[in-house]
Amino acid sequence: MTALLTAAEVRAAIASRVDEIGKLHDQLARVDAATPRLTPRVLRAAYMAAAGLTAPQIARERHVSVNTVKTQLRQAYRALGVTRRAELRAALIRRQTNS
């Protein structure tokens, strides 16, 4: 039986993942020329989604609406030619290794 996490533990775990994603995004943004049509905000939403955060979690962390996140993810999916989160993750990994 697994123990349930407290709200504080969940927030801390999400904050840690967001920090890691932010650092990765910053590194990739410096060398990213493969997809110039994606804005830094769209890329950040994509990296957060690829790391497993849900649209509501991303929205809370970025202080935007869930609809804004969904729009940004649609833009990322379209630009990267993917339709699912697993494909998004793979596309972002490819971008990282091609940089």
Report the CATH number that the domain containing residue 30 is assigned in CATH: 3.40.50.2300
1 belongs to a structural domain: no
What is the C-alpha to C-alpha distance for residues 8 and 43, in angstroms, rounded to an integer?
Answer: 27
pLDDT at 57: 95
Is the pTM above the cut of 0.75? no
93 belongs to a structural domain: yes
What is the C-alpha to C-alpha distance for residues 52 and 44, in angstroms, rounded to an integer?
Answer: 13
2 belongs to a structural domain: no
| Residue whose entry in the numeric block shows the structure tokens 């410096």 | 30
pLDDT of 27 over the 70 cut: no
Contact indicator for 42, 76 with CB cutoff of 8 Å: yes
> What total number of domains does the chain contain?
1
pLDDT tens-digit map of 30-87 = 655 555 578 999 999 999 999 999 999 999 999 999 999 999 999 999 999 899 999 9
Residue 47 lies in domain: 7-98
Greater confidence (51 vs 26) lies with: 51
62 belongs to a structural domain: yes
